[in-house]
Amino acid sequence: MAENLKEAVLYEPLKDEKVGCRLCNWRCLITKDHCGRCGVRKNIDGKLYSLNYHKLCAANPDPIEKKPLFHFQPGSKSFSIAAPGCNFQCDFCQNWHISQIINEEEKIDGRAVEPKRIVELAIQAGCKSVAYTYTEPTIFMEFAADCGKIAKQKALANIFVSNGFMTKEAIDFASEWLDGINLDLKGFSEEYYEKLCKAKLKPVLETIDYIANHTKIWMEITTLVVPSQNDSDKEFKGIAEFLFKTCGADIPWHISRFYPQYKYTDSPPTPAGTLRRAYDIAKAAGLRYVYIGNVQSLKGENTYCPKCERLLIERQGFYVMKNIVKNGSCPGCGEKIAGRGLDN
């Protein structure tokens, strides 16, 4: 069986044919013939193998704004790929049919695609980056790494859309080829993470801190606002102040509208007023780039100059309609705009 599998990265062989996985902050101790919490890394005869390396379940070009990344190559396309599995079990997961398939149906579906082919397809589609997304990219790190290294050789950027539960070792492992990340900060209490995500908050906060202050990876943060769960003024203020203190005023924060999904269908969508309240709290806390996502009517997707308030990048949904950023700066007042590859 192992002959057809990819040996995992970031694990430690231990006594009695056990292995210690060091990829995410569950840091699973895995006995022989068993899988880690994600269900896609298995101990076979004392070695850890990836079960989803040859199981690609999504591959298509997306607007980079869909990630969402608004300050990284805006208006470009990103070739987006995924393999099944996740190390979280979020009740509201929008991609549960691929992220939770192992828990729901006890199977791993997908097809084998060579990393070189992924990069070729990205270039053919006119993409400027490859995004590892839809499911948690940490759990298909082996495939992401092989694609990412080739992509860098072809002048493509690499992007993660992640729950932020990776270890510092995993961040260091990816830092040579990973250029950008949108990281979910799902809430600001351990109770929320435990109840709705079957996970923990503290490691996510540590990941944000580590990426912001110890790497060159461009980072943006997204919070899905779930009514009556993580939508208090106290929670919004806590997140905004944490981001300001840890990452600085230029970290983009995407405040996203919730729609009923998966196991969490009894709640209505997030009221527009709640999103606007979160936006105002974030701006008052000093964050210069705050966005409202999943609802177009609030015009919360545009980028404005934080100094003169000039409209710089106008968006409709996931698409850029106008971009007047010049040499990374506001053409009106000359203010430097935070980001990578901002010019149209």
Which pLDDT value is given to residue 252? 98
The answer to whether residues 29 and 116 touch, using CB atoms and an 8 Å cutoff, is no
Q: Are residues 35 and 139 in the same domain?
A: no
User: For residue 248, which amino acid is it?
Assistant: G
Task: Please check the confidence at residue 202 and state whether its pLDDT lies above 80.
Answer: yes
**Nearest alpha carbon to residue 292 among 26, 230, 139, 283:** 283
Task: Report DSSP letters for 260-288, one per residue.
Answer: -BTTB-SSPPPPHHHHHHHHHHHHHTT-S
Average pLDDT over residues 3-11: 90
Which pLDDT value is given to residue 1? 53
Angle between helices 202-214 and 233-247 (to 10 degrees): 30
Which pLDDT value is given to residue 104? 73
Residue 109 or 77, more confident: 77
The answer to whether residues 102 and 40 touch, using CB atoms and an 8 Å cutoff, is yes
Q: Are residues 333 and 318 in the same domain?
A: yes
Average pLDDT over residues 95-99: 91
The Cα-based distances of 241 to 247, 283, 291 in angstroms read 10, 10, 16
Q: Are residues 121 and 72 in the same domain?
A: yes
Q: Are residues 168 and 273 in the same domain?
A: yes
Q: Which residues of 183-219 are buried (b: 16+ CB within 10 A; e: fewer)?
A: bbbbbbeeebbeebbebebebbebbbebbbeebebbb
Q: Are residues 63 and 44 in the same domain?
A: no
The answer to whether residues 244 and 205 touch, using CB atoms and an 8 Å cutoff, is no
Q: Are residues 162 and 118 in the same domain?
A: yes
CATH code, 105: 3.20.20.70
Which pLDDT value is given to residue 2? 63
Least confident of 64-78, 246-260, 296-310: 296-310
Q: Are residues 212 and 310 in the same domain?
A: no
Task: Please check the confidence at residue 18 and state whether its pLDDT lies above 80.
Answer: yes
Longest C-alpha distance within the chain, in Å? 66
Which pLDDT value is given to residue 333? 97
Domain that holds residue 37: 2-50
For 138-149, write each residue's pLDDT tens digit.
999 999 999 999
User: For residue 246, which amino acid is it?
Assistant: T
Q: Are residues 8 and 148 in the same domain?
A: no
Mean pLDDT of the chain: 96
For 278-337, write each residue's pLDDT tens digit.
999 999 999 999 999 998 767 799 999 999 999 999 999 899 999 999 999 999 999 999
The Cα-based distances of 323 to 13, 151, 299, 304 in angstroms read 51, 26, 15, 11
Q: Are residues 144 and 214 in the same domain?
A: yes
| Residues in Cβ contact with 282 at an 8 Å cutoff, skipping those fewer than 6 apart | 236, 239, 240, 253, 255, 290
Q: Are residues 116 and 30 in the same domain?
A: no
- Domains of the chain: total: 3
What are the backbone angles phi and psi of residue 251, rounded to the nearest 5°? -70, 120
Q: Are residues 23 and 171 in the same domain?
A: no
In percent, how much of the chain has pLDDT > 90? 92
Q: Are residues 323 and 198 in the same domain?
A: no
Average pLDDT over residues 51-65: 96
